[in-house]
């Protein structure tokens, strides 16, 4: 059974932004530099082309190029999980194969969106993707964005597939997560930063975090403290990050927007967002930077 000490993709994963040049073109050099920074400062895994990575507005070729560039930058120091989920099963399978060729270690596959398929179709979709490559796969359950839940019973059935090994949980159904943890070997990763410690404490494997783009070391320290048996310290570290987590993830702007705004103030590669996303207002950026300074200097 997977435990917090033996997760399939690492414990501290960043849902990395996709850096763009001022022109809007993909910034592969910036992606490599940001990936190196994140791994150097505590991440043992990177998720590319997820929600935070603006996957809906990058091309198939850009997604593959991004995996290859980050692989070159980090080598074997961190796992690379490629987001390949789309609303189209055949397209998702094709992206999965390209990610494997480009050097990914695993796949992150969101429930097919817009069509709102029933659960038997959702299950068939994931099985087809899992059968399309030799890579391990993480289910990405985020019904607020997709409109389709991966229901707990569906997850239990999918857990029987040898290459479906993990879940990125953005369901906000903490009871379901615990039930599935108790009945399967699936590695559960907190996809909501406020659940990082809570899910880890009941047997989760770690996190896939947007906030880790800007404070990778602090979030890693939450897990390290818990693993060292310093549970009160772990709770304190989680609580100290709450204000920044709230500002980045619950202020009405997507985490991509807030992460890129804050990364830019830190002189780290980020660049603009692609439409329809728009940059954060200056006052929001100033607030984010203030909260960041309070956290890192506390």
Does the annotation mark 292 as catalytic? no
Strand, coil or helix: 278? coil
Candidates 63, 140, 200, 207; catalytic one:
140
Cβ-Cβ contacts under 8 Å for 17 (sequence gap 6 or more): 34, 52, 53, 54, 213, 256, 259, 260, 263, 270
Q: Which of 168, 188, 189, 292 is catalytic?
A: 168
Catalytic site includes residue 179: no
Burial of 252 (0-12, 13-18, 19+ CB in 10 A): exposed
Q: Which of 125, 53, 54 is nearest to 96 (CA)?
A: 125
The encoded tokens of residue 100 equal: 């494997």
Instruction: For 37, list phi and psi in degrees, rounded to 5.
Output: -60, -45
The single residue listed with the structure tokens 């800007």 is 214
Beta pairing partners, 164: 137
Active centre residues (catalytic): 140, 168
């Amino acid at each position: 059974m997977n435990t917090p000490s033996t997760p399939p993709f690492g414990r501290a994963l960043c849902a990395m932004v996709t850096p763009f040049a001022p022109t809007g073109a993909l910034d592969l050099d910036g992606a490599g530099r940001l990936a190196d920074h994140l791994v150097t400062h505590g991440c043992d895994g990177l998720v590319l082309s997820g929600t935070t990575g603006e996957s809906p507005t990058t091309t198939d070729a850009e997604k593959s190029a991004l995996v290859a560039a980050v692989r070159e930058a980090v080598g074997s120091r961190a796992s690379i999980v490629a987001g390949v989920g789309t609303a189209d099963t055949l397209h998702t399978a094709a992206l999965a194969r390209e990610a494997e060729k480009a050097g990914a270690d695993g796949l992150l596959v969101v429930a097919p969106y817009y069509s709102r398929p029933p659960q038997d179709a959702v299950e068939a979709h994931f099985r087809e993707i899992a059968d399309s490559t030799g890579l391990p796969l993480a289910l990405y359950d985020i019904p607020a964005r997709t409109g389709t839940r991966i229901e707990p019973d569906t997850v239990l059935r999918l857990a029987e597939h040898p290459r479906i090994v993990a879940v990125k949980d953005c369901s906000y159904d903490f009871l379901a997560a615990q039930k599935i943890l108790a009945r399967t070997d699936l590695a559960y990763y907190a996809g909501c930063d406020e659940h990082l410690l809570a899910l880890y404490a009941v047997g989760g494997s770690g996190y896939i975090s947007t906030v880790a783009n800007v404070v990778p070391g602090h979030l890693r320290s939450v897990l390290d403290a818990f693993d060292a048996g310093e549970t009160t310290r772990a709770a304190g570290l989680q609580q100290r990050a709450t204000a920044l987590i709230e500002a980045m993830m619950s202020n009405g702007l997507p985490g991509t927007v807030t992460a890129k705004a804050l990364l830019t103030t830190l002189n780290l590669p980020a660049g603009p967002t692609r439409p329809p996303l728009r940059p954060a207002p200056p006052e929001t950026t100033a607030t984010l930077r203030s909260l960041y300074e309070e956290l890192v200097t506390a």
